[in-house]
Structure 1
Amino acid sequence: MPLLGFGVFQTPPAETRDAVAEALRTGYRLVDTAAAYGNEREVGQAIGDSGIDRDEVFIETKVWISDFGYDETLHAFDKSAGKLGVEVLDLFILHQALPTAFTTTIAAYRALEKLLADGRVRAIGVSNFMPDHLARLMENAGVVPAVNQVEVHPYFAQPDVQAADAARDILTQAWSPIGGITSYRDTGTGSVFDDPVITDIAAAHRKSPAQVMLRWHLQAGRSAIPKSVKAHRIAENFDVFDFALTAEQIKSIDDLDTGVRGGPEPDDVTLEAYGRDIPEA
């Protein structure tokens, strides 16, 4: 699994196909999507049209909470695989923990374990799981999640989640890795792109703030899945392998953590508030 991937969260279906095609031309070989994004079909079309061998592209997608439950999650796989146009997924993830109905979460994860045992997925994981969610899951699971995809950027690093992941050899994958959520959602922190610590480091390396933040993730051993629909940004976000941050620079970025979450509080995610129907393939 490549550490640096391409995300399509909130990318309209009409723009997804071209964006993923551009990302694949640029060199990305990991694409992250989700049933709830409504653009799995376009992701699959871009990959299928790329001419790149299927084994060279790592595809991950996520089960939405409306499809939690053992049989429901098995069917969710069929829906996602059908839209993506593949028989095997590289990584299949539970999108949320659904704490108010955790028995349903456990049933969904057992379905992932079944898919893994049957060879229909190559790895399974979770998203937005806090340490207590992981602990409860592992009391009932036989397979440790390969990945926990959570909000991580310089203003919200979630060190407790990262530590809980590391203790179980779970790879932390960062969504909103360059703090885009701080630009469009009022968190009271301002945009991380304008932070002088980030901009000064960027100037020192003749790189952009986004490139500095992505390098920060990679040097920490995290996976990161930046998103964009602009060709020059897609290319810029991939151009992060020709420089290295110093230990002092990494610490200065680490110290920016405000503890302020941009996304939904995981314990507030309920079917009543966030449930939605996921269409058939």
Structure 2
Amino acid sequence: MRIANLSGRLVLVTESGAVDVEEASQGQFGSDPTAIYRRWDDFVAWAWSTDLPPGTPFDDKDLGSPVPEPGQVFAIGLNYKEHALESGITDFPVEPPVFTKFRSSITGPYGELELPTATVDWEAELVVVIGTEARFVSAENAWDHVAGLTIAQDFSERTRQLVPPVPQFSIGKSFPGFTPIGPVVVTLDEFEKAGLDRADLEIGCSLDGEQVQKGRTNDLIFSVPVLIERLSAVLPLQPGDIILTGTPSGVGGGMKPPRFLQVGEEVVTWIEGIGELRQKCVAGRPHTTASAS
């Protein structure tokens, strides 16, 4: 299945278009794109046993985040070796570095990105969507708790993120529009059907057609199953929670000299088997980092 949020309504995207879930299920499931993960097993059983009606063509610009209101947002830092190295980290972490991105930063897969400063960076990321509660889960069983995979762009305002003396990762990565997600959540069976390995997908990002990031998700230091194991050992992962798993090398802050997003540039982020995000950079309200007093 390819699950989407079309103008605020839960849909399944098929070859013919979008199928409204509430209408197709005759009210068995509602229209809320977030609520479906709380009934994940029932939803999957219905979807796989139902002959869906033909889909309706739609405009991509009407797609919102397929998980617009996750209960918890986990983001993992320095989870690709080459990205850790370009960030000046030579001793790789023995535990996943975890922060969050606040929900108000979440937006849909296509649209404008307001740049509050001249130091906004890009980070292409694979996103895991939790389908069933995970608590004290082993890595061997972790995939059983995953609803599907999607894409995020972890935009980062580096000045705010790295303000001394104490870095502020979460707030520096949570300006409005800094977490576009989508275009769809792809269930794990879809990768197998397409002949793809869910643990080894190409991921990348380009600026105005110039490729700046390209990697594979099998290069993660902490794989998806290990992340679920480590996180669920601390707290329960709930249906609809999301995990941004980290970014490969090629971010602007790691370039010499550093390169950041400019007004007018288009950022395209993609992952094999899922799709792409597109953001056009526009001028935002100026922001300054306050000095400590």
Normalised by the size of structure 1, how large is the TM-score?
0.27
Of Structure 1 and Structure 2, the greater strand share is in: 2
Of Structure 1 and Structure 2, the greater helix share is in: 1
More relative contact order, 1 or 2 (CA 8 Å, 6+ apart): 2
